[in-house]
Amino acid sequence: MNAVYMLWLRQIKKYARSKSRIVGALGQPLLFMVALGFGFGPIYAQAGGGDYIQFLAPGIIAMSILFTSIFSGIEVIWDRQFGFLKETLVAPVSRYEIMLGRTLGGATAGLLQGIIVFFVALAMGLRPDWDLVPAALLVAALIAVFFTALGTAIASKMDDMQGFQLIMNFVVMPIFFLSGALFPLEGLPSGIREATSINPLSYGVDGLRAALTGVAHFGLATDLTVLLGLTAASVALGAYLFSKIQA
């Protein structure tokens, strides 16, 4: 497990050194929080929905984790092109340990990004249930691990960074917009409702919302159960595809 720790530490150091990456990853969440939170807030309140910042903040936290985590998979392609992946694969450790270390490192970076956005949301008016913040951290960690492993699995089958970014945008945007991060899941048309029910991020957003604000669509227990199952499956898939990778 020493290899897992070393790869995890390498990913964290890369994240900590990249100040521009941290600041850049905050741009979109801040834009959504300000433009939507304050722009649509009065309309949402007039419709009887209450404080829109309270509703929106968990979804924006999930968005930040999603983007940071899933795009960490591009480092697999980067390392392959610059030869670092070949050096890693010839080391006397299993490819599963290599994949696990990279996944945990990327997930930790995603989780840290989500925590930063959480503090930003506090400054903008989020009033969480502090007793359930540990449950929110668990949900956030599961989101991070799931999407980091998914990004690694996809990157393991690709060798072009531009192609990876296009695929990720095609995957990430529908996942985000159909997760209930920006709108309630109640009363949706049947087609949209079915799409949200099979969207992994829907359970992550709902779990964060349940833990932070006490409002849930599926229920916190359901959210955690689904996320645990999906995370285990994505890690297994990522490990299998990474084991077949050619440096």
Domain residue spans of the chain: 2-243
Task: Report how far residue 155's alpha carbon sits from residue 31's, in angstroms, rounded to the nearest whole number.
Answer: 28
Mean pLDDT computed over every residue of the chain: 86
How many other CB atoms are found less than 10 A from the CB of residue 52?
Answer: 21
pLDDT in tens, 71-119: 887 778 777 776 667 767 776 677 888 888 889 988 998 999 999 999 9
pLDDT in tens, 32-47: 888 888 888 888 888 7
Tell me the C-alpha to C-alpha distance, in Å, between residue 24 and each of 18, 67, 162, 174, 235.
Answer: 10, 11, 19, 21, 27
pLDDT in tens, 161-198: 777 777 777 888 999 999 999 999 988 898 899 999 99
- 186 secondary structure, DSSP code: T
* Residue 41 three-state SS: helix
Decide: 152 and 238 in contact? Cβ < 8 Å: yes
Number of residues that make up the chain:
247
